C-alpha cells in the first residue's frame, strides 16, 4: 500500500473531494481541468525510478511527457501502480533514439517498450482522430467500424479522447507535477464509475475488447459501469468473435490471472461475454451440474495463490475452463463404443481445436493442460508401480489439485483426493498400507524393495495397463 494513503483508502471518495474541492457534477461536457500538485495526492514517490527516468529524459529533450492510464488511476485510489504508461508528443522513432534499451513494437498500435532490467515502460505517442489522414494512411477501420490500426499522431487532448474510460484519461505532467483531467475522470474515480469516453456503441465497435476491459476494471477496482456504458454490451458482445484469438488470449490472462478471477467470471457471464470467449464451456455449464463449480473453484484457488504471491499457470485454468466440454465429448465417444483412453484423447483434441478459433492457447500451456486431463484417468489406478509413476509425473501436483477441485465441485464422490493427500505425506510403511487399502498389496507381492528402487529411478510407462 502506498505510504500516507491509509486515510485515503478508508474513504477514497470523500478524501478526493476534499482534495479537489467541490465539483459541478451536472457538467455534461468534459472540460480540461488542470489539478496542481498541491491539490492532488499523487507523488513521484509512487512511481518507479525507471518511469521517472523515461519522463525526465523525454522532458529534457524538449518533448512533452506524461504518466497516463492505470498508474494515475490506481495512485488516486491509493493503490500501488503495477506498471507505468508514458504518453508523449515524441514519435516512436524519436523515443527509440533517446533510449538505447528500447524497441518499437506493435503494428495495429505502435508503441515503444523501454526496458530497465525486468521492468518495461510503455511509451505511446499521442494519438489523433482516426478519421484524419495525415498523409501516410496509418489509421484503418473495418466495415464494422473496428479500428484495424491506430497510428495517427495527434495532441494530448485528442489523445485523451481516444482512450477508453474517463478514469484512464488522467495525465500526470513531469513538467509541473499537475494532473490533467480531460474527461471528468476524477469525478468518476470519486463515484467509482467506469464510463467510456464518447459514444459507447461506437467505441465498442472500434475495439470490442473494451467490453472485456470494462468488466476487468469493474472487478479489479470494485467500480460499476455507467448505465450508458453498460447498455450496449448485451447487443455488441458478439463483436468479440471478430477479435484475433491471440489478442484474446492476452486479455483472458488479464481477466483471470489478476487476483479477481471469480468476480470477473461472474460479470463476464452476466454480460453475455463469457460465451463469446468460451462457447463450448458456456454450453457445458448449462448441461452439467458441476461444470460451473469446477471453473469457480479453479478461479478461487488461482485468486488465492495470486494474493499469496504463489505461482499460477494458465494451463491449470484452461484445464478447468474446458473440462466440461471435454467430458461431454468423451462421454459421447464412449457411448459410440470408443474405450475411455482414446475417447479422452480425441475429445481433448476436438475441444482444443474448436477453442483455438476463439482464444489462442499457446502450446506451452495446451500441452500441460492435456497432461492434467490425461492424469485424471491415471489417478484412480492405484496398483503398485503405477502409483509411483503417476506420483512422479511432472504434472502430478497440478493434476492432484485438479482432482480436488473436481471433488469439491461435486463432479466426483470425495475419497480419491484424500487418498492421494495421505499417500504423498506417508512414509514407506504407510504407503504400503494405503496401497493395500486401495486394492493392490505390494507387501503380498513380495517385492516392496524392488518397487521402491523403481520409484527412485522411474521408467517409461510400459505397455501394462
Ligand atoms: P492496468 O495496466 O492496471 O491493467 P491500464 O489502464 O494501465 O490498466 P493498459 O492496458 O496498461 O491499462 O493501458 C494503458 C492505457 O492505455 C489505458 O489506461 C487507456 O488509457 C489506454 N488503453 C489501453 N487499451 C485501450 C483500448 N483498447 N482502447 C482505448 N484506450 C486504451
Ligand atoms: Mg497499464
Pocket of ligand 1, beta carbon within 6 A: 69-70, 82-83, 85, 163-164, 168-169, 207, 209-210
Q: Would you say the CATH fold of 278-437 matches that of 2-191?
A: no
* Range in 95-99, 339-343, 453-457 with the lowest mean pLDDT: 453-457
CA of 149 to the centre of ligand 2 (A): 20
- Residue 409 CA to ligand 2 center (angstroms) comes to 35
CA distance 184 to 24: 10
Helix (H) or strand (E) holding 123: strand 119-125
What is the torsional sign of CA 88, 83, 193, 243? positive
Average pLDDT in the chain: 87
CB within 8 Å of 372: residues ≥ 6 apart: 315, 316, 319, 395, 398, 399, 402
| Each residue's pLDDT tens digit, 62-98 | 999 999 999 999 999 999 898 999 999 999 999 999 9
Q: Give residue limits of the domains in the chain.
A: 2-191, 278-437
27 pLDDT band (50/70/90 cuts)? very low
Helices (H), 257-362: 261-270, 274-277, 279-287, 291-307, 314-335, 340-355
pLDDT value at residue 204: 98
What pLDDT is recorded for position 150?
77
Q: pLDDT value at position 132?
A: 58
Residue written as cell 502450446?
A: 363
Query: What is the per-residue pLDDT across 191-222, written as a single tens digit (0 to 9) for each?
Result: 999 999 999 999 999 999 999 999 999 999 99
**Whose Cα sits closest to atom 28 in ligand 1?**
164
Which are the catalytic amino acids?
83, 85, 164
Residue 258 has which C-alpha cell?
Answer: 489478476
- Contact in structure between 65 and 124 (CB atoms under 8 Å): no
Indicate the fold that domain 278-437 takes in CATH. Answer: cca-adding enzyme, domain 2 (1.10.3090)
Q: Which CATH number fits domain 2-191: 3.30.70.1450, 3.30.460.10, 1.10.1740.10, 3.40.309.10?
A: 3.30.460.10
> For ligand 1, atom 14, which residue shows the shortest CA distance?
69
Amino acid at each position: 500500500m502506498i505510504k500516507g494513503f491509509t486515510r485515503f483508502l478508508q474513504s477514497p471518495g470523500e478524501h478526493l473531494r476534499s482534495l479537489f474541492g467541490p465539483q459541478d457534477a451536472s457538467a455534461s461536457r468534459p472540460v480540461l481541468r488542470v489539478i496542481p500538485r498541491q491539490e492532488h495526492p499523487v507523488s513521484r514517490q509512487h512511481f518507479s525510478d525507471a518511469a521517472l527516468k523515461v519522463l525526465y529524459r523525454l522532458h529534457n529533450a524538449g518533448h512533452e511527457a506524461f504518466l497516463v492510464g492505470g498508474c494515475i488511476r490506481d495512485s488516486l485510489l491509493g493503490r500501488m501502480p503495477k506498471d507505468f504508461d508514458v504518453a508523449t508528443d515524441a514519435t516512436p522513432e524519436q523515443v527509440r533514439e533517446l533510449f538505447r534499451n528500447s524497441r518499437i513494437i506493435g503494428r495495429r498500435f505502435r508503441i515503444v517498450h523501454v526496458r530497465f532490467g525486468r521492468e518495461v515502460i510503455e511509451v505511446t505517442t499521442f494519438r489523433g482522430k482516426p478519421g484524419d489522414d495525415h498523409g501516410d494512411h496509418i489509421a484503418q477501420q473495418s466495415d464494422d467500424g473496428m479500428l484495424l490500426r491506430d497510428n495517427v499522431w495527434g495532441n494530448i487532448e485528442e489523445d485523451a479522447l481516444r482512450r477508453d474510460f474517463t478514469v484512464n484519461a488522467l495525465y500526470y505532467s513531469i513538467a509541473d507535477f499537475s494532473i490533467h483531467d480531460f474527461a471528468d475522470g476524477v469525478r468518476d474515480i470519486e463515484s467509482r464509475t467506469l464510463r467510456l469516453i464518447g459514444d459507447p456503441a461506437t467505441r465498442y465497435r472500434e475495439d470490442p475488447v473494451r467490453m472485456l476491459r470494462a468488466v476487468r476494471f469493474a472487478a479489479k477496482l470494485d467500480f460499476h459501469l455507467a448505465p450508458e456504458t453498460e447498455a450496449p454490451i448485451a447487443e455488441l458482445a458478439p463483436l468479440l468473435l471478430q477479435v484475433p484469438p491471440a489478442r484474446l488470449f492476452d486479455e483472458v490472462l488479464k481477466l483471470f490471472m489478476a487476483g479477481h478471477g471469480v468476480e470477473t467470471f461472474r460479470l463476464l457471464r452476466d454480460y453475455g461475454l463469457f460465451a463469446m470467449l468460451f462457447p463450448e464451456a458456456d454450453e457445458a455449464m448449462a448441461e452439467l451440474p458441476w461444470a460451473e463449480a469446477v471453473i469457480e473453484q479453479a478461479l478461487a484457488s488461482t485468486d488465492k495463490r495470486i494474493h499469496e504471491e504463489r505461482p499460477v499457470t494458465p494451463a491449470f485454468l484452461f484445464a478447468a475452463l474446458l473440462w466440461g466440454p471435454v467430458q461431454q465429448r468423451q462421454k459421447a465417444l464412449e457411448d459410440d463404443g470408443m474405450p475411455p483412453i482414446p475417447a479422452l484423447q480425441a475429445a481433448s483434441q476436438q475441444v482444443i481445436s474448436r477453442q483455438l478459433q476463439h482464444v489462442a492457447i499457446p502450446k506451452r500451456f495446451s500441452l500441460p493442460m492435456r497432461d492434467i486431463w490425461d492424469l485424471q484417468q491415471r489417478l484412480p489406478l492405484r496398483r503398485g508401480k503405477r502409483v509411483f509413476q503417476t506420483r512422479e509425473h511432472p504434472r502430478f501436483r497440478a493434476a492432484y489439485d485438479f482432482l480436488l477441485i473436481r471433488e469439491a465441485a461435486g463432479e466426483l464422490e470425495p475419497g480419491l483426493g484424500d487418498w492421494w493427500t495421505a499417500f504423498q505425506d506417508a512414509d514407506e510403511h504407510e504407503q504400503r498400507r494405503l496401497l493395500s487399502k486401495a486394492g493392490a498389496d505390494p507387501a503380498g507381492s513380495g517385492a516392496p524393495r524392488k518397487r521402491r528402487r523403481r520409484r527412485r529411478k522411474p521408467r517409461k510407462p510400459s505397455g501394462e495397463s
